Structure 1
Amino acid sequence: MSQTAMEDVANLPIRPVAMADLLTLLALYQHLNAEDPVLELGLAESRLAEILAHPGMTILAAFDGDKAVSSVTLTVIPNLTRGGAPYALIENVVTHADYRRRGLAGTVIRKAFAIAWERNCYKVMLLTGSKNPATLRFYANCGFKQDKTGFQVRRTSAT
């Protein structure tokens, strides 16, 4: 970690990722799911291009120089209820192992909240598969309430 990051990670720039950030973003994602298969570069480029072109979808990252060190994916979804107010979903919250426990993820999440509120979202949702009390406490400290029940269906490899 650079001396700057060690001294004050709260002041690291946070911005939407661009195509030029692909390799550092992929490296960061290894800290989210280390067992995930490594994407072939062409497929990764195609997927990031889709994300960047998708209305309402943003990957925000904190950068230490050119290195992405914490990120979230924010998706703002149009809606026909709540007076037409959109809602948002946060996914893929990750911080590089060398940068954890310094407030970066919370700072990036708060930036995502600010964007959601600017876009008039009435709520921001997040699902986590973690049962770790520290992780759940972290999300609660960010302002999330654990007051709904989440469900998911995953495609099986046979489907």
Structure 2
Amino acid sequence: MREQLLDGGVLLRRARAEDVPAIVALLTADVLGAGRETADPAPYAAAFAAVDADPAHLLVVAEDGGTVVGTLQLTFLPGLSRGGALRAHVEGVRVAAARRGRGLGRAMLRWCAEEARRRGATLVQLTTDKRRTDAHRFYAGLGYVASHEGFKLEL
């Protein structure tokens, strides 16, 4: 991934191992994530190593003045459907509360679409919890369509 300077001087770049605590802080600052995340750093370090080692996954951070203010993961999924299309899946989108409403999330999702096109994907998809009504409006405003009903099975 090439680093990219977003509007407002925020740098979008590949996450590094030293960013993991800041990423976890963004995940736990979220009302839904607070109940899902753990204080143990070991699983996050292992997950980061696996994501970082796999070229199909790209964990990025938005950095402003040396502080991580946003994050997301972009994963590329080859498949046979849609004529063998490559899909891009966006996961774990978070923007620091103090930075919301200023276009950072919008810029990050635009970058996802551009990166997906660059890599040959024909579709960008994401899921969001049904309770995140503000996020639903945000994604719809970017052109995402709520076209499917999702199901999960906790293991």
TM over 0.5: yes
Aligned amino acid, residue 58 of structure 1? L
1:24 to 19, 22, 25: 22
Counterpart residue number, 1:68:
68
Aligned amino acid, residue 117 of structure 1? R
Counterpart residue number, 2:117:
117
- Structure 1 residues 39 and 77, CA gap change in structure 2 (3 angstroms): farther
Which structure 1 residue ranges, 5 or more long, are not aligned? 1-7
Count of aligned pairs between the two proteins: 148
How do residues 1-150 of structure 1 correspond to structure 2 at under 5 angstroms? 10-32=8-30, 33-150=33-150
Provide the rounded CA distance (Å) in 1 between the counterparts of 2:115 and 2:101.
Answer: 24
**CA apart distance, 1:133:** 3.7
- Structure 1 residues 37 and 148, CA gap change in structure 2 (3 angstroms): closer
Over the aligned positions, Cα root-mean-square deviation in angstroms equals 1.9
Contact 1:31/1:94 (CA < 8 Å) preserved in 2?
Answer: no
Contact 1:88/1:123 (CA < 8 Å) preserved in 2?
Answer: yes
Provide the rounded CA distance (Å) in 2 between the counterparts of 1:14 and 1:73.
Answer: 12
- State, as a whole percentage, how many aligned pairs show the same letter: 28
Deviates more, 1:75-84 or 1:117-126: 75-84
Deviations 1:60-100 (A, max 9, x none): 22111222111111110112233332101111111111111
Deviations 1:83-132 (A, max 9, x none): 33210111111111111111111111111111111111111111111334
Aligned amino acid, residue 18 of structure 1? R
Provide the rounded CA distance (Å) in 1 between the counterparts of 2:8 and 2:142.
Answer: 15
Contact 1:58/1:74 (CA < 8 Å) preserved in 2?
Answer: yes
Structure number with higher relative contact order (C-alpha < 8 Å, ≥ 6 residues apart): 1
Please tell me whether Structure 1 or Structure 2 has the larger radius of gyration of its CA atoms: 1
Runs (4+) of structure 1 moved beyond 3 Å?
130-133
TM-score (normalised: structure 1) = 0.82
Which structure 2 residue ranges, 5 or more long, are not aligned? 1-5
Provide the rounded CA distance (Å) in 2 between the counterparts of 1:131 and 1:46.
Answer: 29
